[in-house]
Amino acid sequence: MIQDIWPHRYNNQYRNSAPDAECYALYYEEHTALLRRTSEGIEFPRFRDLERLNEEIYEDSIYLFSIDDSRYYLVREISREPHSGFTMENTEIFREAKPQYRSFAGITGYQLWNWYRSHKFCGRCGHMMQRDEKERMLFCPECRNMEFPKICPAVIIGVTDGNRILMSKYAGRAYKKYALLAGFTEIGETVEETVAREVMEEVGLKVKNIRYYKSQPWSFSDTLLMGFYCDLDGEDKITLDREELALAEWFEREEIPDQMSGESLTNEMIQHFKHGEV
């Protein structure tokens, strides 16, 4: 999965350290990131690649995380060298681009960039927020409001019935492959209750024996995904929520299509069932 970057090591502990020329500079605009494609895959600029046209770049940067001994920083409002090979690419590239640890760095940085740019002002009193020096936190000097990075819990649901699993396709989304049911946890709800509620809302089925499988950080949508399998309880007749889903069907293990990309928890759960490990 996208976060499985071994033998590389991701360290997200906040450090109040200044960047040097060899550090990586992550730069984003809307749904795009600055990167270069090489024969080995994608590559991010280092500060030395950007410093000539951007005198302020070292001061105007935010420490994000490190991978192995390399530090990654967020940089803002830069001018780009026209012939450097670095271009803005859609962040969807991080679903599959190699090497995987760079895709993971790219999408994790993107989530943090989104958080910083969405919290310039205090949501309580409207004052400008300031960055804390000791931890990854923004605070309001006026009313003392504190903001930490936002992560939304959500569930991925493998509904099974003996040798069958329920697969679906989303309505109105770019992602067209088969998926499992999924949904965000509401306030005041346990994740197990989310599983039962989402299955009822999306396909009108009751489930039982809800059991946890694995989790996955999914920075494309500010989410922590938690995967669950559960068993159909009673009637198997699907009543589709057409606002959410284009289709939902039962698949026998042997009928499940091979989907080779291994970045998502959804995919791993489908293949795990296909190979009889559930």
Residue 79 or 130: the one with the smaller Cβ distance to Zn ion is 130
Shortest reach from residue 120's CB to Zn ion, in Å: 12
Residue 53 or 146: the one with the smaller Cβ distance to Zn ion is 146
Residue 127 or 275: the one with the smaller Cβ distance to Zn ion is 127
Q: Which residue in the set 124, 150, 211, 275 belongs to the binding site for Zn ion (CB under 5 A)?
A: 124
Residue 99 or 149: the one with the smaller Cβ distance to Zn ion is 149
Q: How many residues can be counted in the chain? A: 278
CA distances (Å), origin 72, targets 7, 61, 109, 257 = 18, 10, 8, 38
Tokens of 46: 């280092």
Q: Which residue in the set 125, 128, 152, 247 belongs to the binding site for Zn ion (CB under 5 A)?
A: 125
DSSP structural state of residue 102: H
Find, among 173, 178, 233, the residue nearest to 200 by Cα. 233
Residues numbered 1 to 20 that lie near Zn ion (CB under 5 A) are: none
Using the contact rule CB under 5 A, the part of the chain among 68-76, 104-112, 127-135, 156-164 near Zn ion is 127-135
What whole-number distance in Å separates Cα of residue 78 and Cα of residue 34?
A: 10
What whole-number distance in Å separates Cα of residue 163 and Cα of residue 278?
A: 10
- Which DSSP string corresponds to 149-214? ---EEEEEEEEEETTEEEEEEESS-S--S-B-EEEEPPTT--HHHHHHHHHHHHH---EEEEEEEE
Tokens of 158: 């493998």
DSSP structural state of residue 121: B
Using the contact rule CB under 5 A, the part of the chain among 125-133, 166-174, 241-249, 258-266 near Zn ion is 125-133
Residue 117 or 208: the one with the smaller Cβ distance to Zn ion is 117
Shortest reach from residue 132's CB to Zn ion, in Å: 14
Using the contact rule CB under 5 A, the part of the chain among 41-49, 69-77, 126-134, 234-242 near Zn ion is 126-134
Residues numbered 133 to 172 that lie near Zn ion (CB under 5 A) are: 140, 142-143, 145
Shortest reach from residue 114's CB to Zn ion, in Å: 21
- Is 127 a binding residue for Zn ion by CB under 5 A? The answer is yes
Q: What backbone torsions phi and psi does residue 127 show, to the nearest 5 degrees?
A: -75, 160
Residue 129 or 165: the one with the smaller Cβ distance to Zn ion is 129
Dihedral of alpha carbons 208, 211, 213, 214, sign: positive
Q: Which residue in the set 78, 122, 156, 269 belongs to the binding site for Zn ion (CB under 5 A)?
A: 122
Instruction: Tell me if residue 54 falls in helix, strand or coil.
Output: coil
Shortest reach from residue 60's CB to Zn ion, in Å: 23
Residue 49 or 147: the one with the smaller Cβ distance to Zn ion is 147
Q: Which residues bind Zn ion (CB under 5 A)?
A: 122, 124-125, 127, 140, 142-143, 145
